[in-house]
Amino acid sequence: MMTDSIAGLTAVVTGAGSGIGLEIARMFAAEGCRVVAADLDPSACDGIPGVRTVTADLGTPSGAALVAEAAADAGILVNNVAVAPYRESFAAIDDAAWQRTWDINVMSCVRLCRAVIPRMAARGGGSVVNIGSEGARHPKPYLVDYAVTKAALLVLAKALSMEFGPAGVRVNTVAPGPTRTSTMETFLGSLSRDLGIDVDAAADHFVHTMRHLPLGRMNEPADVAAVVRFLAGPASRQVTGAEYTVNAGSTASV
């Protein structure tokens, strides 16, 4: 019978300082991985047994290199870091703003994959999980640059899965829908002020009236981490180039 252990593997998680990344780092460490947790501010990971933090700006080549160096023997790579700046209008996003979103959301993944995947391949394989977004397939104008980067990650994962599948490296995408992290809490705070209701009522309004989520609740970070965990481990050994949605059924199309 196949076991699904990831114990003893080195797992790199980017954007591990909060939200979904923090939950993934905790989950992997609890299962016996040596976790390399990278973030501008990874202090939330301090003291978690099995987690080593790396402070790095993942939007820069030197930041990505620092993380790659700390993870020479990675068997699992989770590209989770992203920014999703709210945009008032397309015309107001200048080249520098586009470039910064691109550098953090896409180039961090490109650079880490380039450093880590060949080494995984040389050791017989590994698993890469990129965190996408429902925004890649259902773009919102106020998150246009974010949505473009998340669509790009889908293409990247597919191409990498084809090139490195023969070497045993799998590359998949987990695409979350609305998830209760600090970004979502900020949004719910604004919504509650706009509607003159408390935050719980705003969350309810968002789930039932604005988004019509069939499962009637938003994701918790652990809901996303659980699917990442599946794709990281040997139970998903026949899965590559795939996109798994974790969105309470928000995708109303086939």
Residue closest to ligand NAD (Cβ): 19
Please give the positions annotated as active site: 146
Nearest approach, Cβ of 101 to ligand NAD (angstroms)?
Answer: 10
Nearer to ligand NAD, 112 or 120 (CB): 112
In DSSP terms, which residues pair with 77 in a beta bridge? 12, 128
Nearer to ligand NAD, 130 or 236 (CB): 130
Nearer to ligand NAD, 133 or 240 (CB): 133
Nearest approach, Cβ of 156 to ligand NAD (angstroms)?
Answer: 14
**Distance, CA of 245 to CA of 5 (rounded, Å):** 23
**Distance, CA of 7 to CA of 34 (rounded, Å):** 8
Nearest to 232 by CA among 160, 173, 181, 176: 173
Nearest approach, Cβ of 8 to ligand NAD (angstroms)?
Answer: 26
Nearest approach, Cβ of 117 to ligand NAD (angstroms)?
Answer: 19
Nearer to ligand NAD, 120 or 131 (CB): 131
Residues making contact with ligand NAD (CB under 6 A): 15, 17-21, 39-41, 56-59, 80-84, 104, 131, 133, 176, 178-179, 181-184
Polymer length of the chain:
254
| Alpha-carbon Rg for the chain in angstroms | 18
The answer to whether residues 136 and 154 touch, using CB atoms and an 8 Å cutoff, is yes
Nearest to 58 by CA among 116, 13, 118: 13
